[in-house]
Amino acid sequence: MKNYLLQQQEAGACIRALFRRKFLPVLSFVFLLLFFCMPGKAQNTMTITGKVMDQSGNPLPGAIVKLKNTTTGTMTGAEGNYSIRSQEQKGTLVFSMIGYVTQEIDISGRRAIDVKLTEESNALNEIVVVGYGTQLKKDLTGAISLVKASDVQKKQATTVAEALQGQASGIKVRGGGQPGSEAQIQIRGLKNLFDSNPLYVIDGLITSANRDFNPNDIESIQILKDASAAAIYGSRAANGVIIITTKKGKEGPLQIDFSGKTSVQTIPRYKLAATEEFSKLNFMAYDNANVTRQKLDLSTNTDWQDAAFRTGNVQDYTASFSGGGKSSSFLVSAGYFGNKGTVISTGFDRYSLRVNTQGTKGIFSIGENLAITNSKSDEMSGNPIIDVIRLLPTIPVYNPANPGGYGYGDEAKARTFGTNPVAIADLEDRTNENQRIRGNVWAELKFLPELKYRLNLGYESSNDHYTYLRKRGNWTLNQPLDPAIANENRANFSTKLIEHTLTFNKSLGKHTLNVIAGQSYQRDDYAQIWGTKRNLLANPDGGYYNVLDQGNEGQLGGFKNRSDLISYFGRLEYNYADKYLLNGVMRRDGNSRFGPGYKWGNFPSVSAAWRISKEDFFTSSWINDLKLRASYGTLGSSNTDYYDYIGVINTLSTIAMGTDQHIEPGAIQVKLANDNLHWEKLTQQNYGFDASFLNNKLTVSSEYFIATTKDVLFGFPIALTTGNDGGNPRVNGVTLQNKGFEFSAAYREDSTPFKYSASANFTLLRNKALDFGYNRNNIYVGNTVTEVGQPIGMWYVLQTDGLFQSMDEVNNYKNAAGKLIQPDAKPGDIRFKDNNGDRQITNSDKVVVGSPWPKYELGLNLSASYKGFELNMDWFGSFGAKVFNGPRSVMDRFDDNSNYRAGIQPWTPENPNTNVPRAYYGSTLNSRGDSDRWLENGSFFRMKYISLSYKVPESVVKKIGFQNARVTLSGQNLITFTKYTGLDPEFSNGSVFEKGYDFGAFPNVRMYSLGLQFGF
CA distance 440 to 356: 10
Cα radius of gyration rounded to whole Å, the chain: 32
> So what's the pLDDT on residue 15?
36
Residue 25 neighbours by CB distance under 10 Å = 9
CB atoms under 10 Å from CB of 816, counted, come to 8
Predicted local confidence at residue 14, as pLDDT: 39
The whole-angstrom separation of Cα 531 and Cα 572 is 53
Q: How far apart are CA 612 and CA 618, in angstroms?
A: 7
Helix (H) or strand (E) holding 166: none
Give the Cα separation of 500 and 458 in Å (integer). 12
Compute CA 282 distance to the chain's CA centroid, rounded to the nearest angstrom: 44
Alpha carbon distance 793, 310 (integer Å):
35
- How far is Cα 342 from Cα 426, in angstroms, rounded to an integer? 16
Q: What is the DSSP track for 88-127?
A: SS--EEEEE-TTB--EEEE-TT-SB--EEPPB-SS-TT-E
Query: Please, are residues 376 and 433 in contact by the beta-carbon 8 Å criterion?
Result: yes
Predicted pLDDT at 32: 39
pLDDT in tens, 432-460: 999 999 999 999 999 898 999 999 999 99
> Which regions of the chain are under pLDDT 50?
1-43
Asked whether 203 and 369 are in contact (CB, 8 A), the reply is: yes
How many other CB atoms are found less than 10 A from the CB of residue 691?
18
Q: Which residues pair with 544 in a beta bridge?
A: 538
> What is the per-residue pLDDT for 871?
96
SS3 content of the chain, % helix, strand, coil (to 5): 10, 50, 40
Nearest to 1006 by CA among 978, 985, 982, 975: 975
CA–CA gap between residue 444 and residue 456 (Å, rounded): 9
- Rounded distance, CA 364 to CA 452, Å? 10
Give the span between the Cα atoms of 544 and 74, in whole angstroms.
61
Integer CA distances (angstroms), 773 to 475, 626, 720, 779, 788, in order: 46, 44, 21, 12, 10
Provide the strand spans (E) within 794-841: 794-797, 800-803, 830-832
Q: 517 CB contacts (<8 Å, ≥6 apart)?
A: 501, 502, 569, 570
- The type of residue at 492 is N
pTM: 0.84
**446 neighbors 363 (Cβ within 8 angstroms):** yes
How is the beta sheet containing 997-998 ordered, strand by strand? 935-937, 882-885, 997-998
Nearest to 72 by CA among 563, 530, 450: 450
Q: Where does residue 732 rank: exposed (0-12), middle (13-18), buried (19+ CB within 10 A)?
A: buried
Residue 783 sits at φ, ψ, to 5 deg, of -95, 25
Helix (H) or strand (E) holding 416: none
CA–CA separation, 226 and 188 (whole Å): 9
* Number of CB atoms found within 10 A of residue 260's CB: 15
Q: Using H for helix, E for strand and C for coil, what is the string for 578-625?
A: CCEEEEEEEEEEEECCCCCCCCEEEEEEEEEEEEHHHCCCCCCCCEEE
Coil vs helix vs strand at 883: strand
CB 763 within 8 A of CB 742: yes
Residue of 851, 803, 807, 794 whose CA lies nearest to 828: 803
